[in-house]
Structure formats: C-alpha cells, structure tokens
Amino acid sequence: MVARALSAPTDQVSAHSALILAALALREGKPAEPWLARSSMNASTRDRLVGILRPALLCSRPAELEAFLAKVPLEAQGYLVTMGLIVLGRDAPPTWLSWVNGMLFVTERPFFMRA
C-alpha cells in the first residue's frame, strides 16, 4: 500500500495530501521533495522542513519540529505535526497525537492510535 501511494503522480494529489505523502516518503527513506513541491511552501521552508523531518534527527530532537511550528500559521501546524507523527510512528511524542486530534478535522487526519 505504501509503494502504491508513493507511486501516485504528484500532479494528481492535493497540496495537503502531498504533505502527507512527503512524510511517508521520508519515513520510507525516499525523497520528499517531489511531494513538497506541490505545497505552497517556498523552497527555503521546504528545505528546512526536510532537514527537521529526517527520521534520525526528529527522533533525537523532536523539539526542533515544535520550534518550527511557532513560525507557521495554525493550519500548517496541524499538517506539520501530522507529518512528524507519520515519520516517527509510535516513537513520536504523545503530545503530538493530542495536537493532531485537536487541530485537524477528522477527515483531514490519518488514523493514528497509541498502543
């Protein structure tokens, strides 16, 4: 299912879906840039985000994503935390799940659960 999602043509997904697919690509060790290019972010913001969302860095320093959130509009915060949850999965800070559930409509957020 992951391979199928990542093989979708980038020009056939919405900007918000592209953010989710970018996080999935990062989690799978694949380039996120084609997906991020569909977003409204400028190139320097995209580059910074890719740097923050690298799984090894994000796992050891989740506060970097949280600091980045303070610099973006509230709507973007929900999607960026969702991206962090996708990249880290069960290793994500528990507060991120609460944030996503509180910020996004049920139809906007992927299904996440804690074990």
Residues 82, 87, 92, 94: what is their CA dihedral angle, to the nearest 10 degrees? 20
What is the rounded distance in angstroms from the CA atom of residue 8 to the CA atom of residue 78?
23
Tens-of-pLDDT digits for all 115 residues of the chain? 888 889 888 889 888 888 889 999 999 999 988 998 888 778 888 888 888 888 888 888 889 888 988 888 887 788 888 889 999 888 889 888 888 877 766 666 566 655 4
- Going by C-alpha positions, the residue among 24, 19, 31, 26 that lies closest to residue 5 is 24
In the block, tokens 């999935």 appear at 24
Contacts of 21 (CB under 8 A, 6+ apart): 5, 6, 8, 13, 35
pTM of the model: 0.82
**What is the predicted pLDDT for the residue at 24?**
92
